[in-house]
């Protein structure tokens, strides 16, 4: 996989050709705590940049997961739906949320690098 980019809403995106993979960051899982529910979009659904695309719930609360990039969903990760706790174990690897075919690579390029994201988290601890 290629370079990974990050959003201010604590999603990560990696791009392979014109297909992006989206998940939530390790930092996000640490804020959420134990994850007990996940809902992912079905293939074929269109999502807008920063539009609500998935749901994640911890023992404490429900949170929306936004797509940092617009496009058409090609796959939702059913494994995290079946075993939500796997998101705490490998949030930036096997426990991705969805893949989508992107429309505009410029949206990807404008997201934060790993260094920028780490700094963002440090400056915005909550």
The yes or no reply on residue 91 touching other proteins (CB under 8 A) is no
- DSSP assignments along 21-79, one per residue: EEEE-HHHHHHH-SEEEEE-PPTT-EE-TTEEEEEEEESS-EEEEEESS-EEEEEE-HH
The yes or no reply on residue 94 touching other proteins (CB under 8 A) is no
Torsion sign across C-alpha atoms 62, 28, 22, 7: positive
Size of the site for other proteins (CB under 8 A): 14
Q: Between 1 and 61, name the residue whose CB sits nearer to other proteins.
A: 61
The yes or no reply on residue 57 touching other proteins (CB under 8 A) is yes
The yes or no reply on residue 36 touching other proteins (CB under 8 A) is yes
Stretch that binds other proteins, among 12-20, 28-36, 68-76, 106-114 (CB under 8 A): 28-36
Q: Between 14 and 29, name the residue whose CB sits nearer to other proteins.
A: 29
From residue 25, how far is each of 9, 31, 65, 104 by CA, in Å?
9, 10, 11, 22
Cβ proximity of 47 and 74 under 8 Å = no
Cβ 57 to other proteins shortest distance, Å: 5
The residue ranges that bind other proteins (CB under 8 A) are 33-34, 36-37, 55, 57-62, 81, 84-85
């Amino acid at each position: 996989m290629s370079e990974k980019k990050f959003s201010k809403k604590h999603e990560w995106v990696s791009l392979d050709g014109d297909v992006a993979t989206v998940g939530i960051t390790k930092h996000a899982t640490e804020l959420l705590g134990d994850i007990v529910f996940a809902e992912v979009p079905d293939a074929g659904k269109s999502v807008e940049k920063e539009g609500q695309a998935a749901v994640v719930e911890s023992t404490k609360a429900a949170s929306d997961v936004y797509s940092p990039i617009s496009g058409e969903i090609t796959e939702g990760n059913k494994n995290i739906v079946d075993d939500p706790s796997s998101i705490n174990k490998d949030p930036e690897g096997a426990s991705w949320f969805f893949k989508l075919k992107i429309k505009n690579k410029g949206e990807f390029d404008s997201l934060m690098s790993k260094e920028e994201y780490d700094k963002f988290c440090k400056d915005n601890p909550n």
